[in-house]
Amino acid sequence: MFARDQFHVKCKPHAIRDWSFSVIEVETGSFEIFIEPLRRQSDGTLAFLDFDATEFAERLDEELEEKRVLHIDRVNILGLEALFSYPLSEPEPNLNRVLMAITRLWQYLGEQEVPLTWKTRSGLIGALPKALGAAWEHIGNRLELEIEIPSIEDKVVAQLTPGEGGPVSARLRLIRAMRKRGAHVILRLAPLVPMINDGQQSLEAVMGAAKEAGATGVEVRYLTMLRGKQPRIWSQLSRMQREMMRSCFARSSWEAGTHYNSRGRLSGSRKMLPAEVREQGHRRAKEIAAQFGLRLIVPNILKSKKSTRPESAVSIVPSAASLLPQPAANLNQESGIQLSFIDDLLENS
């Protein structure tokens, strides 16, 4: 969890011109935007996107023209775990400023006729600011929450995904909050690891809890070992768990190249579990998903530019011109309206 006192002294705003976002061809002829509005830098500080609609549209036009992209099929918001690691209702100036910027981004994207996906490990702790909830509600069923919960047990979650991210109970609260505002929710069971979190009881527990909270689909994805992240994951596991993982990956070799995961493009060496191990787990997950009435999604990660979205998903293809500045949103700095954290602006989710 991100240390609270770092929000006082280590939050740095960045303008659009200084911020990178990616336009990626996820499958032939299908382009998506990936934006990470809040990220930790190498020196430990948090950098956040100080969102401005006009600058964003100008920067996007330049990016699309450079890559000769005419249509955007989806916008993906990545992360935001640090922002949602503790109650948003506490009056801390830097937290307030970050939340205002993020809410402006959601409001702007809500005005565009393009599907949105929020890929996150975040959880909702405490009350939800009404302005943020209203932005989600305005987007409604064009918004999809893709939330990662690899286990119902917090200890297992911390082992498999060390770093920032909310506790399981808070992630389930976020599912309820998003469903209440019309969003679709996909549970991401990832990473799955044989003999750690892919057993019958483990899958039933997390799928059942997610379904009760409002999830309508589940994506299962077995662990793909990235060479750079292997030591960090290894350090979180017990000796017996490390030995089990070594035996699972023993027959696999490192593959070099550029790969695509749920958060965009990855470069470097990776090692995948044997196909028969993954297929057996997929069959088990399919049976349990059917038991709970969840739509199962199994990405074809063997093909770099293959969409992980099911064929039945809604796909709106707007022109690039539709991603242009709209009239000033409610939280535009020019309007003088600021986010407040007094009780009457908060609601339970």
Name the band, by pLDDT with cuts 50, 70 and 90, for residue 230: low
| pLDDT over 50 (residue 97) | yes
pTM recorded for the entire structure: 0.79
**Are the beta carbons of 322 and 111 closer than 8 angstroms?**
no
| pLDDT over 50 (residue 315) | no
State mean pLDDT over 225-230: 70
State mean pLDDT over 102-108: 93
Place of tokens 């990016």: 63
Predicted pLDDT of residue 89: 65
**Are the beta carbons of 302 and 255 closer than 8 angstroms?**
no
| pLDDT over 80 (residue 41) | no
Predicted pLDDT of residue 316: 30
Name the band, by pLDDT with cuts 50, 70 and 90, for residue 266: low
| pLDDT over 60 (residue 61) | yes
Predicted pLDDT of residue 161: 84
**Are the beta carbons of 324 and 106 closer than 8 angstroms?**
no
d(CA 178, CA 140): 9
Q: Which domains does the chain have, with CATH numbers?
A: 6-223+289-347 (3.80.30.10)
Name the band, by pLDDT with cuts 50, 70 and 90, for residue 7: very low
State mean pLDDT over 7-33: 76
Higher-pLDDT residue of 178, 301: 178
State mean pLDDT over 193-213: 95
d(CA 107, CA 331): 8
State mean pLDDT over 193-198: 91
Predicted pLDDT of residue 303: 42
Q: Report how far Cα 342 is from the mean position of its chain's Cα atoms.
A: 28
The percentage of the chain sitting over the pLDDT mark of 70, rounded to a whole number, equals: 75
Residue 48's DSSP bridge partners are 13, 38
State mean pLDDT over 190-212: 95
Predicted pLDDT of residue 228: 67
To 10 degrees, what angle do helices 275-292 and 200-213 make? 40
* Residue in 23, 66, 53 with CA at minimum distance from that of residue 323: 53
State mean pLDDT over 322-346: 32
Distances from the Cα of 167 to the Cα of 13, 138, 295, 314, angstroms: 27, 27, 24, 30
Q: Which two tokens stand for residue 108?
A: 């702007």
SS3 string, the chain, reads CCCCCHHHHCEEEECHHHCCCEEEEEECCEEEEEECCEEECCCCCEEEECCCHHHHHHHHHHHHHHHCCCECCEEEEECCCCCCCCCCCCCCHHHHHHHHHHHHHHHHHHCCCCCEEEEECCCCCCCEEHHHHHHHHHHHHHEEEEEECCCCCHHHHHHHCCCCCCCHHHHHHHHHHHHHCCCEEEEEEEEECCCCCCCHHHHHHHHHHHHHHCCCEEEEEECEEECCCHHHHHHHCCHHHHHHHHHHHCCCCCECCEEEECCEEEECCEEECCHHHHHHHHHHHHHHHHHHCCEEECCCCCCCCCCCCCCCCCCCCCEHHHCCCCCCCCCCHHHCCCCCCCHHHEECC
Higher-pLDDT residue of 336, 130: 130
pLDDT in tens, 281-299: 999 999 999 999 999 998 7
